Structure 1
Amino acid sequence: MRAVVTRVQEASVVIDGIVNGQIKQGFLILLGIAPEDTEKEVIKLADKICGTRVFEDENGKMNLNLETVGGELLIVSQFTLFADLKSRRPGFSAAAKPSIAIPLYEQFIKECQSKGFHVEHGEFGADMKVSSINDGPVTLLFDTDHL
């Protein structure tokens, strides 16, 4: 499971011209799921992301986590995080099929909500327009194979 996490001042996802999800300060999470991913990876990744301390304290140091600053989450499915880029045209065979990915994507959302966070999200498989105002910018790459 992979996630690109950006610290944002605000972010939104629009589907068919309608705002589907919108947050203020927090994390925009682009989530990619591999065929071998399970509930174990969901729990590990949600815990790691939600506990990451990248918000500035009173001394300007990245020392505060999402909970401390009252942050929110916008989670968007992103199968392209598993792109094979060996040729000029990306291949996506390393990404999980919807039958595996959708339940794990939904479980990841629920896992973050169970930690007490306000979570907004995109729609799996939809053509989405994602906007954000990056804060910092601070962008982190998480991969459960390396956590």
Structure 2
Amino acid sequence: MVSAAQSAQIWQASLDDVRASFNPLFAASRQYEQQLARISTAEEMGAINAREAAAARVAAAGSLAPAASGLGGKGRSAVGNNFYSANIAAQGFDIGVTSAMGMNPLTIGLQQGSQLVGVMQQMGGGATRLLRPSARAFCRS
């Protein structure tokens, strides 16, 4: 017997399949998310090291470029923002998984922190742009 949760997952997957057949950007984004999940799994298993995982994430990000190339300026910006959001979410997932596995927080910071800083630099401005408003708010209180 299929539970309600399983039934909902099956229904959502079928909706996503139909949407992907009509929306190439959605299809590319979906494929990218699946690739990020496979990379994280491979890294957690020890099949690839952190450098190989980072290179694989960059290569996976390149898969979004052809889908975005047909969009106008605003579309490209949205794709870039979606990519950054997806990348940051993947890093957050990696941080959660590695901390749940009992990895040393310093090691997690070194592995994931450098990747997050790289995303921030791609967004323009790096960590300074993100942290400056936080520092101002902290200093005011």
**Quick check: TM above 0.5?**
no
Structure showing greater radius of gyration is 2
Q: Name which structure has the greater RCO, CA cutoff 8 Å, separation 6+.
A: 1
Query: More strand by proportion, 1 or 2?
Result: 1
Query: More helix by proportion, 1 or 2?
Result: 2
TM-score by length of structure 1 reads 0.31
